[in-house]
Structure 1
């Protein structure tokens, strides 16, 4: 489809919002000048939502900038790789499910037309993204093919607005698995184990202070972390409006912190007239240090939690 046709159908003065789903490492590539307003969701999440808002012509410029930058990143990464064939650029749009039928068309006619006329691969996910009424639409191909495909998708979205209320997809902060091996702590990110110096120090401290106990005798979260009786108690004061971040839905987060740290953690009931809650942590110094570290890590996700009220729960 020629750009002039899109301009006449879409109208360059129409303000449109397009949502993209990206991995955190991709987000750094897209900061630049395109004329469109680009907003990137906050939070310590492996996925981020990139929202592009503006007249359709500036949205096309923004997509051109992103697609060419991603291709540049692919070419740069190939210089250190034995791969010979260049993989396609891939973007993931987040589209209200009520508009996906129009993108697919009767019997798949519209999506087939987009594939054939642009040369891009287009896939509409069958399932909605978690806790939302949106679906992922994946576009792959050369930057030129992606830009033409996005233009056609914009036209469809303008012609077929969403029906009813849309519950937007919000990526969740990842609960990063931690493993200990050879005296080192690693966090699992995708297929890779990334060394974690802070947790390594705490783990080494724990191993020095408490003897290794065979797993057959006790079942600690990690060997050495809670193999001896509690040695001390530490108290924290947390504002009431942040306590849900620590507790998690149905207590999942606080239980995770208890399991990982090996500490006993008690949260006092809310006192009438008080805006704060008392948290008591009991265990070895290493247990307490690790529990405090994990609680502080939860606070780094508060911004994301405030953007997603459904994830804030109280005890």
Structure 2
């Protein structure tokens, strides 16, 4: 459906839809007591603001309207988040104020235009607005959308959103977009070191919002070498790269999902990656186990990738209990 075009005093004013990904806590702040905050935002901005249903750790907030109403809605959200940051800091006045962060969900087919040739567009946005802009390398689970994270002062964020809207209007999505839909929360499912976690997407998210070791686990993923390139790149050179070693730390509670029933999963990872993988015995008083991966850089990279993929599979099973029997 073609966006409707309305002539306004400021030139062409086009109807656009922007999707934001927010944590439950952020959504609560936007809704406000008895829905008062979101009602005020809708009335004052003139934009349609819809919040996805469901008991999910993440929610999608959709903002639709002529571009000027979208900018007003964004301004109100950015200032509200800044107010939340200031209120949460009132106990510790010494620390510097962290930036406001918003996550947009953008069809992957438009991300190339946002980044620009050799990163030129995203660099220009950062320099002209003072906001930090990052486009995720991977698509969000079960979708063809990527997360675009913007952080900075509310003013920098508003300027940055204006520029992103221009790019999105100039480069409409190609082909069909499969929108990202957050999975419902299974209540806290893992306990590690006295901390409860829910699995969300490919991460285990601590409860309450306290980022710990586990959240970073999936972030340790190094870019893995495509399977075809594990052999030396130069024919005639038989010498394979020297073996090296990489260590990972994994919470005890999650080690079972890497080992699998009677070691099936870890053996599969060993065979597929060609790496040696040793899991240290549990140390008394420690809630973590050390995994040592030895092999060529390509073997190690592939083993890490498979271990991370295993976490994602388990995360998907927690989110979809009907598939629990398959592992």
TM-score for both structures, normalised by structure 1: 0.55
In the superposition, relative to structure 1, how do residues 138 and 243 fare at CA in structure 2: closer, same or farther (>3 Å)?
closer
- After superposing the two structures, state which structure 1 stretch, 59-68 or 166-175, moved more: 166-175
Measured in 2, the distance between the counterparts of 1:25 and 1:142 equals 20
Equivalent in 79, 93, 104 of residue 115 of structure 2: 104
Cα RMSD for the two superposed structures: 15.4
Contact 1:213 1:227 in 2 (8 A): no
Q: Is the 8 A contact 2:3 2:16 kept in 1?
A: no
2:11 is matched with which residue?
A: 11
Distance (Å, rounded) in 2 between the aligned partners of 1:110 and 1:201 = 34
Range that drifts further, 296-305 or 231-240: 231-240
Q: CA deviation at 1:192?
A: 14
Mapped partners of 1:204, 1:114: distance in 2: 28
CA distance in 2, matches of 1:93, 1:25: 17
Cα 1:175–1:285 shift into 2, 3 Å:
farther
User: For the structure 1 residues 20 and 217, does the alpha-carbon distance in structure 2 shift closer, same or farther, using more than 3 Å as the test?
Assistant: closer
Bigger Rg, structure 1 or 2: 1
| Distance change (3 Å), C-alpha of 1:27 and 1:232 | same
Give the equivalent residue in structure 1 for 2:137: 126
Summarize the Cα distance change of 1:283–1:143 in structure 2 as closer, same or farther, 3 Å threshold.
closer
- Indicate conservation of the 8 Å contact 1:249/1:312, yes or no: no
Check the 8 A contact 1:249/1:313 in 2, yes or no. no
CA distance in 1 between counterparts of 2:149 and 2:218 reads 46
**Among 198, 221, 244, the residue aligned to 1:209:** 221
1:250-290 superposed Cα distances (whole Å, 9 cap, x missing partner): 99999999999999999999999999999999999999999
The superposition leaves residues 101-155 of structure 1 with CA deviations (integer Å, 9 ceiling, x where unpaired) of 0000000000000000000000000100000000000000000000000000000
Q: 1:211, 1:163 → 2: CA distance? A: 27
Q: Is the 8 A contact 1:245 1:313 kept in 2?
A: no
> Which structure 1 segments of 5+ residues have no match?
none
Q: Is the 2:185–2:198 Cα contact (8 Å) retained in structure 1?
A: no
8 Å CA contact 1:245–1:299 kept in 2: the answer is: yes
Shift of 1:84: 1.2
Q: Which runs of 5+ in 2 are unaligned?
A: 36-46
Distance 1:65 1:219, change over 3 A: same
